[in-house]
Amino acid sequence: MKRSNIILLVIGAALLLLVFNGCGSYNNMVTKQETVSSSWAQVENVYQRRSDLIPNLVSTVKGVANFEQKTLTDVINARASASQIKVDASRLSPAQIEKFQASQGELTQALGRLMVVAEQYPQLKATENFMELQSQLEGTENRIAVERGKFNEVVKDYNSYIRQFPQVVFAGMLGFDKKGYFEAVAGADKAPKVEF
């Protein structure tokens, strides 16, 4: 064999290896990106469950005479605000996650105030409907924490993968960007005082 043929064969083999490696990396990035999107959909699902419980909770609380109207209005407004924030799963940037988290945090705070005020009404606490809704809300908050944790794990896996060599070469060219995480809210390191 001629030397030029050997060089062409080596170059061809290297290019073929690069193409196969690129295809495998691309397919893995797509799979991991879809896992992130699926996990995000589950996060939205549990937040939606919480949002769906709020009208029943507000209706139950409204039935109590002299209940603080401002607290109910705050919850209704926070729910409406949180429902308006939509995040595209294909563009989960840290800024979008932070915006979503802030609106959901406002709703969490409003619900917390509602529960604290509700404690001042023994006739409300004695109703089976209120107790059931409160229990469902607590369960939903636990699900939210679990799903956010799972989401952060799949984002970590995705972000790590696209930043490793040789994927980093293909990720930038093919539009695979780093995804955002859920992070603790400022002041979350201090336990809130909750009285039930």
User: pLDDT tens digits for the chain (196 residues)?
Assistant: 688 888 888 888 888 887 777 788 899 999 999 999 999 999 999 999 999 998 988 888 877 656 678 888 888 899 998 888 888 887 788 888 888 998 999 999 999 888 888 888 777 777 788 888 888 989 999 999 999 999 999 999 999 999 988 888 888 888 898 998 888 765 544 544 544 3
d(CA 68, CA 75): 11
pTM above 0.95, yes or no: no
Helix spans in the chain (H): 3-62, 69-84, 94-118, 122-125, 128-162, 167-174
Query: 3-174 maps to which CATH number?
Result: 1.20.1440.20
Sketch the domain layout of the chain as residue ranges. 3-174
